[in-house]
Amino acid sequence: MSERYTGIKFRTKKLGELLENEQLETYALQLNNVLKSLPEICLEGIAGNVSARIIDGILISASGTSLKNLGVLDDYSKVISKFNDRVVEYYGKKIPSSETKMHQLIYTEREDVQYIFHIHVPNLEKLQLMNRYPITKRFFPYGTINLAREAVNALSSNDTVILRNHGVVVVGKNIDITIRILKQIIKR
């Protein structure tokens, strides 16, 4: 389960800073509030990532950050390139999450999705045994297109997917429903 983090696996191009913007701050605060409501054990270390769909791209937590205490906008990047683009183009102080490609593919394939939470839950083994949520068939290293595709396949029939031996992904249209699903999963 403890795959070593070795940085991002795609090319990036910084287009500028992430300037103060009410809409972006509202999304960042929403995401941070959800994270704050989760048990701290879910947010340990440099693991997991969160994002929201915005008008011109996605707002996503930066790579190499802890989800425990994300700064509003300082620890987020705005990605405006598309999934198929070779280079991930972004605004922000820090490089976007190593799982940016997975988030992009989910937003592309699931037009209804507004929020994505990828959390390294402590009860992963139990969840895998329960057989209640779709589980990716194989283990793929983090940040790979294979992992992104596996996740998206499983999400075609559900708003939750377990990434085998890795963590969970929960997606949603509504922040309150998404948080409820997340809390249910962690409690199991």
| Closer Cβ to Zn ion, 24 or 170, answer by number | 170
Give the nearest distance from C-beta 5 to Zn ion in angstroms.
9
Nearer to Zn ion, 93 or 164 (CB): 164
CB closer to Zn ion out of 167 and 172: 167
Query: Is the CB of residue 23 less than 8 Å from the CB of residue 44?
Result: no
Residue nearest to Zn ion (CB): 167
Chain contacts with Zn ion (rule: CB under 5 A): 167
Nearer to Zn ion, 91 or 150 (CB): 150
Interatomic CA distance for residues 48 and 38, integer angstroms: 13
Query: Sheet of 49-54: strands edge to edge?
Result: 11-16, 87-91, 76-79, 57-61, 49-54, 115-119, 167-172, 160-163
To Zn ion, the closest distance from the beta carbon of 49 in angstroms equals 7
Q: In whole angstroms, how close is the CB of 140 to Zn ion at the nearest point?
A: 11
* Minimum gap (Å) between residue 118 Cβ and Zn ion: 6
Q: Which is nearer to Zn ion, 24 or 70 (CB)?
A: 70
Nearer to Zn ion, 162 or 181 (CB): 162
For the CB of residue 4, give the shortest distance to Zn ion in the complex, in Å: 12
CB of 15 to Zn ion, least distance (A): 26
